């Protein structure tokens, strides 16, 4: 269940350079590189001559040469050289729009002429003054929808992430779920006067009681953000340490996905040890999700990938709303292949994005 007429994250922008970067999205094999004018190029990883992967070839002066018979293609996909003949064959390699925004490369796999860069979801926290980022990537062998489910139901922190961000306060806290503008799901938890899980004790440098809040935000098909804040229980909410964690999920196949993430913080900007500590801790935390999600995918696969849990409990509300939105958008695109999914804001500004607007 995929949406094509929208931007998906393909890579961190600085991963796309002068060397070929092959990757698969929505079962489409793509090769990416950066042209001499610094623009990004995404081309089908398939030579239009005899269909071997172009990633087996080589890049020189902004042209990709097929490693089999040496046809060369420019950034537009046009064949610009054919060995042993002056007349160029009428073949063109397929290309995809690829744009750079907020430190990420975003690809459009749907109808190319609809690829408006203004439709790239806003995750500016990944690269903007006032926010310091610890970032990483996980490859998850699971249906990407299970990753969305996981990120919208953070009660699992209590059980899966005991060593870093979870304790019993998370699963015990009630969740308020809203859907905004028919596109964005928000699931909000307040956890007043709790013991800090280890990760937050590290952030605050404090082991006494804290107040914690957490908002899981989701924009279909795979843009998620966790907004979390912590402050000492006798402190002021305005002084909370806030982190925004974009989790950018792009399907690779029906049972695998790319997961680019960044933990963006609004405090202790110059503390490079903290930046690395957050990166390590988060990477470990998401390793735990990866292990659980891959086991879950295998179990569900054996049952034909049912959409819904066998028994819906309270924590399923947000994931089920998101699944419903996704199904609606997929249906809209099936009925009209030129339907476009327009993003809505994940957060309103650099203040905490709760309560919802309006
Ligand atoms: S297969 Fe690429 S040039 Fe022949
Ligand atoms: Fe998790």
Q: What is the predicted pLDDT for the residue at 45? A: 98
- Amino acid 357: pLDDT: 58
Taking the C-alpha atoms of residue 294 and residue 288, their distance in angstroms, rounded to an integer, is 10
Ligand 1 pocket member 50 (CB < 6 A):
yes
* 216-235 burial: b if 16+ Cβ within 10 Å, else e: bbbbbbbbbbbbbbbbeeee
| The predicted structure's pLDDT at residue 295 | 97
Ligand 1 neighbour 322 (Cβ under 6 A): no
Report the pLDDT value the prediction gives residue 134, as an integer from 0 to 100: 97
Three-state DSSP class for residue 178: strand
Q: Is 68 in the pocket of ligand 1 (CB under 6 A)?
A: yes
Nearest atom of ligand 1 to the alpha carbon of 48: 2
Pocket test for ligand 1, best of 66, 73, 92, 94 (most atoms within 8 A of CB): 66
0.85 exceeded by pTM? yes
Ligand 1 centroid–CA 59 distance in Å is 15
Question: How much is the pLDDT for 270?
Answer: 93
CATH architecture for the domain at 7-117 = 3-layer Sandwich (2.102)
Query: Over pLDDT 70: what percentage of the chain?
Result: 97
Residue whose Cα lies nearest atom 4 of ligand 1: it is 69
Give me the residues of the chain with pLDDT under 70, please.
Answer: 349-358
The domain spans of the chain are 7-117, 127-335
Per-residue pLDDT, 256 = 98
Q: Please tell me the distance between residue 108's alpha carbon and the centre of ligand 2 in angstroms.
A: 28
Name which of 149, 152, 139 is nearest 256 in CA terms: 139
Q: What pLDDT, in 10s, does the model give residues 101-143?
A: 999 999 999 999 999 999 999 999 999 988 999 999 999 999 9
Looking at residue 306, its pLDDT comes to: 87
The residue whose CA is least distant from atom 1 of ligand 1 is: 50
Tokens encoding 210: 């804290």
pLDDT of residue 203: 82
The DSSP line for 18-52 is SS-EEEEETTEEEEEEE-TTS-EEEEESS-TTT--
Tell which residue, 252, 255, 287, has the closest CA to residue 22.
252
pLDDT score for 135: 98
- pLDDT, residue 349, reads 67
- Given the candidates 3.40.50.300, 3.90.380.10, 3.30.70.270, 3.40.50.12140, the CATH classification of the domain at 127-335 is 3.90.380.10
Q: Phi and psi at residue 310, in whole multiples of 5°?
A: -60, -40
């Amino acid at each position: 269940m995929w949406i094509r007429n929208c931007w998906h994250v393909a890579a961190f922008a600085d991963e796309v350079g002068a060397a070929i970067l092959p990757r698969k999205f929505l079962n489409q094999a793509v090769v990416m590189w950066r042209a001499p004018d610094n623009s990004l190029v995404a081309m089908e990883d398939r030579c239009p001559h005899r269909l071997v992967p172009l990633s087996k070839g080589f890049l020189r002066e902004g042209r990709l040469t097929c490693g089999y018979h040496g046809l060369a293609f420019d950034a537009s996909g046009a064949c610009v050289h054919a060995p042993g003949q002056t007349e160029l064959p009428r073949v063109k390699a397929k290309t995809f729009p690829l744009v750079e925004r907020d430190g990420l490369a975003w690809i459009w796999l749907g109808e190319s002429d609809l690829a408006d860069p203004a439709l790239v979801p806003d995750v500016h926290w990944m690269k903007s003054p006032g926010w310091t980022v610890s970032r990483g990537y996980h490859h998850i062998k699971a249906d990407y929808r299970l990753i969305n489910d996981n990120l919208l139901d953070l009660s699992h922190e209590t059980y899966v992430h005991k060593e870093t961000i979870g304790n019993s306060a998370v699963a015990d806290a009630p969740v308020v779920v809203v859907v905004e503008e028919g596109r964005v799901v928000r699931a909000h938890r307040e956890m007043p006067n709790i013991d800090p899980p280890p990760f937050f004790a590290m952030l605050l440098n404090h082991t006494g009681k804290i107040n914690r809040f957490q908002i899981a935000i989701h924009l279909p098909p795979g843009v998620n953000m966790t907004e979390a804040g912590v402050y000492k229980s006798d402190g002021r909410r305005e002084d909370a340490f806030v982190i925004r964690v974009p989790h950018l999920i792009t399907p690779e196949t029906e049972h695998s996905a790319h997961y680019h993430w960044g933990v963006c913080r609004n405090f202790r900007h110059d503390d490079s040890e903290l930046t690395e500590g957050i990166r390590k801790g988060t990477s470990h935390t998401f390793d735990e999700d990866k292990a659980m999600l891959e086991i879950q995918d295998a179990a569900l696969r054996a049952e034909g990938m049912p959409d819904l849990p066998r028994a819906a409990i309270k924590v399923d509300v947000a994931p089920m709303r998101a699944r419903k939105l996704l199904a609606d958008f997929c249906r809209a695109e099936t009925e009209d292949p030129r339907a476009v999914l327009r993003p809505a804001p994940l957060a309103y500004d650099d203040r905490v994005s709760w309560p919802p607007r309006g």
